Amino acid sequence: MITQRDDDYLICKEYQARIDQKSSEYPGFITFQHTNGNHYFAWVNGDEIIMRSEAYPDEERMVRGIKAILKNKDIPQRYKVEEAHGVYFLLLFGGGDHQEHTGNMESHNEIGRSCPKKSREEILAMLMFNGADFAKAAVPMAAAAAGLAAAVSLVEMPKAEAPKVEIPAAAAVPPPVAGAATTSAFNWKWLLPLLLLIPIFFWWKSCNNKKEEVPTAIVPANTPDTTTAVTTPTTLHRQLLIVI
């Protein structure tokens, strides 16, 4: 069967659907024959797929592929992270006589490929089951850190909010009282003449009271009949009022 490189792998759900078909001879692997006639396997950790295999035309070559994984899986230098179509894959390479596993792609020695991941950090986390030192060596921290920095740069950090200052509401100004404007506009100078008349009134009143107390003048018999003008207080008061 002639295959192309892009067609050598099935999509991940094909392997995941057969996650229970564990190999009794090779623990940590699942094996199956697809309806297309080819044989496939996957290196798994529990229910997580670590590496998928390409298509093998027969079971014997599939077993050779499993042995290639076992021989190279603990060598961090045989791993490579590749980005394609906005996702990341972890590739495992063989060497030597493992160069022609598919029987069709003699120019490459890729012996396994992970399912697509959203970031390098996900690939790093996937390999942690084999030890942190191994995972960091297979996926160098410099590359992982660069991916993390890029991811952080895409996240818009919330801007610090300025402290809120509560400004008390202005006190309500009571509406102007009706007539207040009239009172404030009243001209007090018109009261001055009235204030001046008050003491004059009391003075005039007191003079009327004294009039009754003035005794009648007794003129002796031998006094010449001389007519003397007597000005009474009442007459004086009336003159003052006329002047005013």
**Residue 83 maps to a domain:** yes
**Residue 104 maps to a domain:** yes
Selection from 31, 13, 11 nearest residue 21 by Cα: 31
Selection from 115, 113, 117, 111 nearest residue 144 by Cα: 117
**Residue 237 maps to a domain:** no
Q: Which residues of 44-78 are buried (b: 16+ CB within 10 A; e: fewer)?
A: beeeebbbbbbbbbeeebbbbbbebbeebbeebeb
* pTM higher than 0.75: no
Range of the domain at 82: 5-153
Total of domains in the chain? 1
More confident residue, 106 or 168: 168
Q: What is the pLDDT of residues 172-216, one digit of tens each?
A: 555 655 554 444 555 666 666 677 777 777 777 776 665 555 455
**Residue 19 maps to a domain:** yes
pLDDT exceeds cutoff 90 at 243 = no
Place of tokens 């670590």: 50
CATH code where residue 36 lies: 2.30.29.80
